Structure 1
Amino acid sequence: MTTSNQINKPAPRKSSLKIVAVSAIAMTTALMSFASVTAQVHAPVKRVDGPAVTVPELLGEPKGSDIALALEASIVDDQIDETFGNKVSPGAKSAARQAYAQGVFAPLWTRKAAERLMQANPTCKENGLDSGYTDAQLREAIDNRFSGTAEQRALADLRLTETWLVLASKMSGGLSDEGGMVSSTDDRPTRSDLIVALSKASQTDPIKSMEEYASMAPQYGELKTALKRYRQHADNGGWMRIREGDEMLEPGMDDPRVPALRKRLAAEGYIDPTPFRWLFASLRIDLVEEPTVYGEMLAQQVKSFQAAYGLEQDGVLGPATMAALNESVESKIDRIERAMDYWRENANPGERYIWVNIPSYRAEAWTGDRRDVSMKTIVGKSRTPSNAFSDEIEYIVVNPKWFLPVSLFKRQKLHKLQNDPGYAARNKYDIYDRSTGAKVDPYTIDWSEPGVANQIQMVQSAGPHNALGQLKIIFPNKHSIYLHDTPDHSLFDLDVRALSSGCIRLDDPVAMANWLTDGDTSVSTTVFNATLASGERERFYLDQHVNVHLTYLPAVVSPEGQVEFPADIYQEFKKPTLAQETYPDNSEPIEDNERYVDMNDNNGPRTKVLH
């Protein structure tokens, strides 16, 4: 945004000398009234390039208008608080006062800019937002801005300013009390930035200026596209519910619900109604599947659906898969909107960051809008969940020892040592006295003694047996959660991977660690990998701390572009709503283009069935 430090003189008003003198005094009073507030702003107040728009004709004002006097009176008498109410933060109100004062209390809104506000509701809807204003309310404020008495036009100008500030607040995830956009990062706009943005919006394009505050996170843009698609599904009637049966539906079964299953998957795009039509047409083949047989092709499409829901990909329509299929399109739209809310509130995840969506079982490393690394994860069990929070990665430990937390020791190890103290040595654990640091023979400890778990420290030595694997990536936090390797990589072959005690296990931790070291000037990736191979225990501290975001989002877009609605493994999502109507059981004839007949068989046409 281009600014100028030169304060431009407004065009002279057509008013008496007496009015000009009073205006100057009032302006000085107004500026002094918030001097204590502006003194807290570190950046100097910025001005929009070019002269302020104060010529009445350019603002849509009749000649000789006294709207500036009415605005001046409202602002100097602090009526702006009453006009804006609690819809706008104190800092944003202060920015509005300064914007008006800088223009010598001329109205901010031109007719062209005001008319653009009629696009507020469609734009908000595209971003999963409710503007809070009806079209009728917007129309009334715009019309009042250019008709009626000077006082009415002044009030309408303030209303338009209030409207834009509210819209900008919603789009950005909130305005702070200092008038800047709320953000998870430190480079939030200052109040002076908001003054410039308001001045620009009110004189050019308020919708474009509002959208500039939308999240720049790639997921936000992809979810916005997904929202448009699912709204189209809703406009087309969405889908119905599949009837619950007496037994689970498995591949190979003949069941009257199969036509309903096929329709349900097609409604969301999991089935192409005419797959490979051009190929079969060229071979003089038509495609068909027996109406009520749950064939293999349909089962593969169900598995794709299960993958998008974080369910076991077995093709079986059990309770979890059936519930996912029967979730309404409106419920999925709500999921997407709530995920977009997160990215609005965390609009700038950082130039380089690692993102883990816990219920998606996936970790990704990003540089700007480029996804550099993506891999499977294992996350906490429902009774030991992984927490959602953001932090900064500070260092990496290679060939780590594992210092068991007291809570985990009590839960998983104490009863084993009570039954067999030799468990420690067989699994490469050492026992230490917490008070002296001395190593202790596990056979000399009374493991049934109350409080023994708080008196000892159990440590697993480094090596291929270690529960943390080859390395751990540390971002110190109160939850004692970090990213780490695991010796049991076969667990990544499972579809449902809520298996850990809270930390995040990575399928390819070396790739993630190398991404971190490649981007850090103080760590050599070559030295890092050599140390890793040597078996020596070492810490590598990063000069450039990298943001890490552990999230629990109800909707994401996968690296393949698939919209996913992860299963609620910790029961934290809003309970989904189900489709209202139920598909009827039927055996309606399949369309001709779904039938295939082999016309090249020497014995004549022969109908085949796909399973």
Structure 2
Amino acid sequence: MKLFRFLRLFVLTFVLSIFFIFSKCSTKEPKEVEIKNEISESIEKTFVLTSFDSIALDTFFTKYPKLAIYKKQVTTTYTRHTFNYLWFDLKGRKETAEVLYNRLNSLPEEGLTAAIPYKEVFEGLYFSDNLAPNLETELLLTSYYYFYTQKVLRGIDPSKAKELGWYLPRKDVSYEDLLDSLLIHPTKVDKQSQLMGQYYQLKEALQKYQAIEKKGGWPIIATEPSFKSFKPGDSSAVIGLIRNHLYLTNDLSANSKSNRYDDELKEGLYNYQLRNGFNADSIILPKHIKDLNIPISERIKTLEVNMERCRWIPVEFSKAKEFIVVNIPSYRMTYFKNGAPKVVSKVVVGNVMNKTVIFSGEMKHIVFSPYWNVPSSIIKKEIKPGMARNKNYLAQHNMEWNGGNVRQKPGPRNSLGLVKFLFPNSNSIYLHDTPSKSLFNEETRAFSHGCIRVAKPKELAYALLEDDPKWTKEKIDAAMNKGKETWYNLDRKVPVYIGYFTSWVDQNGVVHFYKDVYSRDDRLAEVLAQE
């Protein structure tokens, strides 16, 4: 009897054990199915990538002739990548393609109105349900990359820039190498490192002005034909319109909507005058109203053409230990040292008939108490006619003959003043002092024959020689007033850039506009519209 109970217990235990084992096995089955499903989904999202034949490029550019200007770059790119896909991997389209697509659709933010060739065809392929690698999409993306780099990063062809009078050197950039970098780090295209910093500041200003334009811009400020001026304390509906304009352009932080010319408006007017090339005072004149009435579309165009000019400047230029920049439209020179302005000075530049050339050089010499060797053109047009009228003309102007040429002797009456700064160039342009100090008080200072007159020549000499043990301020003053020409060779070469920017954002983020003294903006805008 006991044996029977034992056997029955044993059988029961065995059956339960078998049931438990099978139940454990049955709980594994769903996990195995889940794993199999994951593998299946992974296989479905994995594509086979193979290299393609170079002949495909000929076929592609025959179909898309507007992109054929990029054929050489596209061919070079795929040759170095052995004709493998760049914008797709085994999982489909890469993130870099999305970044490029977004940048192409943001061209207005870059100050560009260029139409994207075959955009509708591209978007039809780009947004199709088929995510598999597509050679046509692949080659469109590569072509669009070079379209983007040319429009946004490179700008117009250097030969066209020279036709517009721009002779500052441009650095060659390998956009093939940049593409390799972007394919690894796609967000790099959005980093503010491809162009000079001023470009991105102008871009930000452009977006603000575009936002104002979308809201209707600013109304025209109409005045009576008899209008002469507004002074503090005056009241007029026109003053209310001026206040509103200054508020829209951030020259005023608030808009009280008052029609009375109060201290708040006076401060806003100062801000506006200073950033628009006027001498700051409290009197509102017709010329100020005329400037306020420049349409916002024109301000936007000005920002766009100056963003284009920024594309022509090497990124590295502002990284030099020291350099000098002259901006012709602002009539201003800045000597930068160790990343900060050391000397800021008003300048006088060439008049419309004798335009100061846009170029760069390297300052090598400072000449104290200089002679002025009168250019042959001035001898012909001014000196000889003066001598014909007055036999004492040369003596009265402290001039003398020198080997068939005319030169003016050193001294305070010398047209070059007491010091000049030389950066040898084929244009015979240099920086110099002047005895005509009153011209620096003028708002428009295009009076010279091409050279650049500096309002603070002594301060510039002090700054350039402050680390030179051979010179003290006292020695510099003595050399400038010695009356005998003295040359000194700098112990290094200081880069000098003469540029032309009719809008500029300063270190405080304030956008400035300047008169287009040589009428260059419209010509550049026309070229951009044709690109």
Are 1:398 and 1:538, in contact at CA under 8 Å, matched by a contact in 2? yes
TM-score normalized with structure 1 length: 0.66
Q: What SS class does the counterpart of residue 378 from structure 1 fall into?
A: strand
**In structure 2, do the counterparts of structure 1 residues 83 and 208 end up closer, same or farther at CA, with 3 Å as the change threshold?**
farther
Are 1:385 and 1:502, in contact at CA under 8 Å, matched by a contact in 2? yes
What corresponds to 1:226 in structure 2?
A: 205
Residue identity matched to 2:471: T
Q: How far did residue 160 of structure 1 move?
A: 0.9
Are 2:352 and 2:446, in contact at CA under 8 Å, matched by a contact in 1? yes
User: Residue 100 in 1 paired to residue 81 in 2?
Assistant: yes
**In structure 2, do the counterparts of structure 1 residues 59 and 343 end up closer, same or farther at CA, with 3 Å as the change threshold?**
farther
Task: Pick one of 148, 156, 166 that aligns with 2:137.
Answer: 156
Residue identity matched to 1:427: H
Inter-partner Cα distance in structure 2 for 1:334 and 1:513: 38
TM alignment of 1:171-570, pairs within 5 A: 171-174=152-155, 188-190=172-174, 194-205=175-186, 208-209=188-189, 211=191, 214-216=194-196, 218-252=197-231, 254-273=235-254, 291=259, 293-294=260-261, 298-299=265-266, 301-313=268-280, 315-348=282-315, 349=317, 351=320, 352-367=322-337, 369-434=339-404, 457-517=405-465, 526=471, 530=475, 533-534=478-479, 535=482, 536-542=484-490, 544-558=492-506, 561-570=509-518
Q: How far did residue 154 of structure 1 move?
A: 1.1
Are 2:411 and 2:417, in contact at CA under 8 Å, matched by a contact in 1? yes
Inter-partner Cα distance in structure 1 for 2:489 and 2:64: 49
Inter-partner Cα distance in structure 2 for 1:423 and 1:165: 62
Residue identity matched to 1:209: V
* Uncovered stretches (5+) of structure 1, i.e. residues with no partner: 1-56, 178-182, 276-287, 435-456, 578-611
CA-atom RMSD in angstroms = 3.7
What corresponds to 2:126 in structure 1?
A: 142
What corresponds to 2:31 in structure 1?
A: none
Q: What SS class does the counterpart of residue 343 from structure 2 fall into?
A: strand
User: Residue 114 in 1 paired to residue 114 in 2?
Assistant: no
Inter-partner Cα distance in structure 2 for 1:318 and 1:296: 17
Are 1:59 and 1:111, in contact at CA under 8 Å, matched by a contact in 2? no
Are 1:114 and 1:142, in contact at CA under 8 Å, matched by a contact in 2? no
Are 1:379 and 1:500, in contact at CA under 8 Å, matched by a contact in 2? yes
What corresponds to 2:9 in structure 1?
A: none
Q: How far did residue 398 of structure 1 move?
A: 1.9
Are 2:122 and 2:137, in contact at CA under 8 Å, matched by a contact in 1? no
Inter-partner Cα distance in structure 2 for 1:550 and 1:571: 17
After superposition, the C-alpha distances for 1:351-395 in whole angstroms (9 at most, x for unaligned) are 243211111111112357533332211122333332323333332
After superposition, the C-alpha distances for 1:429-479 in whole angstroms (9 at most, x for unaligned) are 222341xxxxxxxxxxxxxxxxxxxxxx22111122222122112223343
Are 2:152 and 2:311, in contact at CA under 8 Å, matched by a contact in 1? yes
Count of aligned residue pairs for this structure pair: 463
Inter-partner Cα distance in structure 2 for 1:257 and 1:531: 53
After superposition, the C-alpha distances for 1:3-36 in whole angstroms (9 at most, x for unaligned) are xxxxxxxxxxxxxxxxxxxxxxxxxxxxxxxxxx
Q: What SS class does the counterpart of residue 362 from structure 2 fall into?
A: strand
TM-score normalized with structure 2 length: 0.75
Residue identity matched to 2:351: K
Q: What SS class does the counterpart of residue 487 from structure 1 fall into?
A: coil
After superposition, the C-alpha distances for 1:77-104 in whole angstroms (9 at most, x for unaligned) are 6446546746444652343123431xx6
Are 2:70 and 2:147, in contact at CA under 8 Å, matched by a contact in 1? no
Inter-partner Cα distance in structure 1 for 2:447 and 2:461: 22
Q: How far did residue 204 of structure 1 move?
A: 4.2
Residue identity matched to 1:541: N
Inter-partner Cα distance in structure 2 for 1:123 and 1:552: 26
Q: How far did residue 209 of structure 1 move?
A: 3.1
Identical aligned residues as a percent: 23
Are 2:327 and 2:501, in contact at CA under 8 Å, matched by a contact in 1? yes
Are 2:323 and 2:495, in contact at CA under 8 Å, matched by a contact in 1? yes
> Which of these two proteins has the greater Rg computed from alpha carbons?
2
**In structure 2, do the counterparts of structure 1 residues 372 and 531 end up closer, same or farther at CA, with 3 Å as the change threshold?**
closer
Q: How far did residue 224 of structure 1 move?
A: 2.3
Residue identity matched to 1:100: H
**In structure 2, do the counterparts of structure 1 residues 382 and 195 end up closer, same or farther at CA, with 3 Å as the change threshold?**
closer
Task: Pick one of 106, 112, 115 that aligns with 1:129.
Answer: 112
Inter-partner Cα distance in structure 2 for 1:166 and 1:212: 19
Inter-partner Cα distance in structure 2 for 1:243 and 1:143: 51
Inter-partner Cα distance in structure 1 for 2:325 and 2:44: 49
Inter-partner Cα distance in structure 2 for 1:461 and 1:255: 57
**In structure 2, do the counterparts of structure 1 residues 385 and 91 end up closer, same or farther at CA, with 3 Å as the change threshold?**
same
